Structure formats: C-alpha cells, structure tokens
Amino acid sequence: MNSHKTWPDNWHSEFVHPDKQYKSTSLKVEKVLYSGESEFQKISVVMTSSYGRALLLDRVLVKTERDSWLYNEMMGFLPLGMINEPRDVLIIGGGDGGVAGEILKHPTVEKVVILERDQRVVDISMRYFEDSGVTIRDSRVEVVVGDPLLVTQRRKDKFDVVIVDMFADMRSPAHKVVAAELLHGLQYILKPDGVICYQQPSPLVNDTALREQMRMFRRYYPSVGYAVNIAPTLPQGSVGYALMSPQEGVDFSVPKQGFGVEEARKLGLRCYNTEVHQGSFMCVPSIVRDMVSEGHPDTPSTEGAPPISGNKKHIYSVQSMFSRQQSAGDK
C-alpha cells in the first residue's frame, strides 16, 4: 500500500512505495471538513484546492469530486459490458457509493448491493458527498454492513457481476489468505455466465503484487483478463482491473453489450464506451502482458472456510476474520 504524509504545510502526499519515497502525488488541502476514527480505520474528508472534496481512509486517498468517475466508470462498466442485459450487481467495498452510482446508469440494472465492512464510511460519504447520498438512497441500492467473507457465504441470491472495490496488499500473508477465501466464496454467488472485476495495482510499479494476484485468480477461474486505465490522483498514475469468469475461453476485450460513443454519452458516461473497453485490454504494453500471463503457483488454502449457509437480511452487522486479519499490522 502507498505510504503517505498528511497535511504538513497543508499538503496531502502519497508515495508509490512505503520504504522508497522517491515519487509521490500531492494535493493542496484548503480545509479539513471531517476527521475521525471508526473501529476499522481513520476517516477524513478534506477540501482540496483543485480536486474538490476528497475522502481518505487511513490517510489514503480513495475519492475526489473531480476525477473519481474515471475509476468508477471503468470498474463498473468493464464487467457490465461482458453480460447481456445484466440485472444484479454486488460491490464488495465501495461504501462511498462511487462505483454503484456509475452502475445505476446502465439501462438494464435492477439491483446493486453494496457490501461494506465499515458503516462509518457509508455515513460520512453520504454526509459530505452529494453524489454518494443520491446513490445510496436510490431504491435499487441495498447496503449491507459486515464482514465480506461471512456475508457472501450467507447470501442465497446470485449476481451477474461481482466487483471487488478494495485494495489487497499481496505482500501480506493475512491479505493473501483473505483474498483466496473471498475468491473461493464468490464462486457460490456468481451466476454461471457472471463476471468478477477485481481492483488491481499499477502494473509497472507493483509488478510483484500483480503477478501474485493474477496467479491466484487463475487458480479459481479459467478465464482471466487484465485491463488498465489512467488514474490521475493515484501516485502511480494508472490503475488495473482484473476480470474473471467461470466459463472457458472468454475474450474480455470483446464486450457482449456495446455502447458507442454517442450512446454512452446519453447514459451520462464520460470515459467508458466500446472502443475504450477494447483498448483497455488490447493496448497493454508487452511487458505487462508477460506479467499477467505467467504460471499458476500455489496460493493460500481455503480449507476450513465457513460453510455456505444462512439466510438473507437487508443489513448484517458482523465482525469476524476479515476485520481481524486486515488490522493485523498490514496497513
């Protein structure tokens, strides 16, 4: 995870590597609007001079008013484009409502479930970001608060698309175990022709983490693809997206449901369209293609994971293995 320096001389800076502070992205902070701490993390909202309001979790930038739509659109529409008439979407993480807000623009989506471990992220986002409030109050959105591992095991409904909108530090043994158990559990709530989209590190900065995650994905899913796009406020300047399917031979560069430039504009999309979808997979440097095409070494075992059972509720309030492993010195 990126290291950071928060507000010395009214600047927020994040560095690419925690131990090698040679490159950073900095935003001028005009005012601190909120600063507090939940049982999981520190939460801050600041007003920046050029990117509007910004949300920080454990002092890591996760949302700005000016450019978060770039990431959110791609995170939502890359997997949506691989499904004919998608209707049901699950977002793991994403308590700020950013990805959900973009997904709601899709004409056939009927239900979006946001599975967020931290209720405070949802509350603070709704209080300080107008778009978050509009999205989370939408009748098509269901917010579930709890441990993603336990909640996904308890749900009986199936999803066309599952989006993992959270960072997994593959240098951490605990995070590797959590990621492996989550991938294992998602197989039970994904429809047979469904697609998973998993947030990925920048390829040329975090190449070791990228290789490890792609190997892990291939253990659970026969079709895995990798796309990349710009992300101006991240220290790396780019972000990756891994797509997975339980079906064999899926070419993720060819969307099943395309949106031309004009059609995408009518939906309110500012980045995604069919050409951008194709280019995100096809216009990947050769060195990155080599990284994401490497072998399939062993990954952490999911033996002993809780059984798939339980009933559906609108709100879960559970705290277990996921929160404990995340807090075990891995941030």
In one-letter notation, the amino acid at residue 312 is K
Which residues does 324 contact at the CB level (< 8 Å), separation at least 6? none
For the segment 96-104, the average pLDDT, to the nearest whole number, is 97
User: Which residue in 126, 136, 143 sits closest to 34, CA to CA?
Assistant: 126
pLDDT band at 319 (very low <50, low <70, confident <90, very high): very low
SS3 assignment, position 216: helix
What is the enclosing helix (H) or strand (E) of 154? helix 148-154
pLDDT of residue 327: 37
pLDDT of residue 69: 94
243 near 79, Cβ under 8 Å? yes
Q: Mean pLDDT in the chain? A: 83
Q: For residue 330, give Cα distances in angstroms to 1, 144, 205, 212, 269.
A: 9, 24, 19, 17, 36
pLDDT of residue 1: 41
199 near 75, Cβ under 8 Å? yes
197 near 186, Cβ under 8 Å? no
Q: What is the pLDDT of residues 44-77, one digit of tens each?
A: 999 999 999 999 998 888 999 999 999 999 999 9
Sign, Cα dihedral of 214, 215, 220, 222: positive
Q: What is the pLDDT of residues 267-304, one digit of tens each?
A: 999 999 999 999 999 998 888 888 888 644 433 333 43
pLDDT at residue 226 greater than cutoff 90: yes
Instruction: Quote the longest CA-to-CA distance of the chain.
Output: 53
* Top-confidence residue, 312 or 105: 105
In one-letter notation, the amino acid at residue 25 is T
Tell me the C-alpha distance between 174 and 5, whole Å. 25
pLDDT of residue 288: 87
User: Which residue in 109, 116, 115 sits closest to 77, CA to CA?
Assistant: 109
Global confidence as pTM = 0.85
**Burial class of residue 240 in the structure, from the number of CB atoms within 10 Å of its CB (0-12 exposed, 13-18 middle, 19+ buried):** buried
pLDDT at residue 194 greater than cutoff 80: yes
Catalytic residue among 165, 193, 290, 330: 165
Which residues does 317 contact at the CB level (< 8 Å), separation at least 6? 145, 146
Tell me the C-alpha distance between 157 and 217, whole Å. 23
* Top-confidence residue, 321 or 251: 251
Tell me the C-alpha distance between 206 and 185, whole Å. 26
pLDDT of residue 36: 96
Tokens (6 digits) for 183: 């991938």
DSSP state of 8: G
pLDDT at residue 323 greater than cutoff 50: no
For the segment 226-254, the average pLDDT, to the nearest whole number, is 89
Tell me the C-alpha distance between 207 and 178, whole Å. 20
Give the angle 118-127-159 at the CA atoms, nearest 5°.
50
* Top-confidence residue, 326 or 266: 266
Percentage of the chain surpassing pLDDT 90?
A: 57
Q: If you write DSSP's letter for every residue of 36-74 in order, what string do you get?
A: EE-SS-EEEEEEESSS-EEEEETTEEEEETTTHHHHHHH
pLDDT of residue 17: 62
Q: Is 165 a catalytic residue?
A: yes
Tell me the C-alpha distance between 161 and 195, whole Å. 5
SS3 assignment, position 196: strand
pLDDT of residue 262: 97
Least confident of 18-27, 85-94, 122-131, 183-192: 18-27
Buried b / exposed e over 147-158, threshold 16 CB at 10 Å, is bbbbbbbbbeee
pLDDT at residue 203 greater than cutoff 70: yes
Tell me the C-alpha distance between 58 and 166, whole Å. 13
In one-letter notation, the amino acid at residue 299 is T
